[in-house]
Chain A
């Protein structure tokens, strides 16, 4: 059974703070890792992809991958109220299917 685990939250952070979102996965054969943002009633929007161990930065977002610990995280610096959404972690296994976590709801308070 492929499992992708996320804390459902809500995670509340003040505006300007760093939000840290975490995701663990069960299968060591996982190949690619993605973070999507989903606003209520909308479809997911790709934020970051990461394929190898370490950090990957894109603007205010940093994805961190640790395959040995089967752990991927997303840091959002200088959080803004517009960042309030549900963040979905997605992991691919062989055959390229995505498995999504249940999502973490982030609230950024002005």
Chain B
């Protein structure tokens, strides 16, 4: 149980384009989903927290107009990187917390974004 999927697993795009990443909880309802970014040899940095049906809460320094997060259902959250630039190249990982569970977060496999 507690499986989280992400799609795509990797993406290469040109500078200035937008990229959408999907995060799905496959066998549970996720009341809260989290989006992280991880640069090489660094730890995970929380970007935003999203609750189903409400606006995402962004961490300080994260541009909400650049990183659009939608949590439309209890099993799906999306992150759209708008007007991507090479410095946005990173490993993006989502996690989900199950309804009624403890505080554990279950992570998706991640999406590696490369912006040329």
Contact = CB atoms under 8 A, between A and B. Distances in A.
B44 A31 contact: no
B110 A103 contact: no
B102 A45 contact: no
B109 A42 contact: yes
Interface string B3-15: 0000000000000
A43 B104 contact: no
Contact of B110 (A42, A90, A101): A42
B54 interface: no
Contacts of B108: 43
B43 A43 contact: no
Interface residues of B, number: 19
B109 A43 contact: yes
Interface size class of A (residues with CB under 8 A): 20 to 34
Interface string B87-114: 0000101000100001111111110000
B34 interface: yes
18 contacts: A31-B103, A34-B103, A34-B104, A34-B105, A43-B108, A43-B109, A46-B105, A46-B107, A49-B102, A51-B102, A90-B105, A96-B97, A96-B103, A97-B46, A98-B34, A100-B43, A100-B44, A103-B43
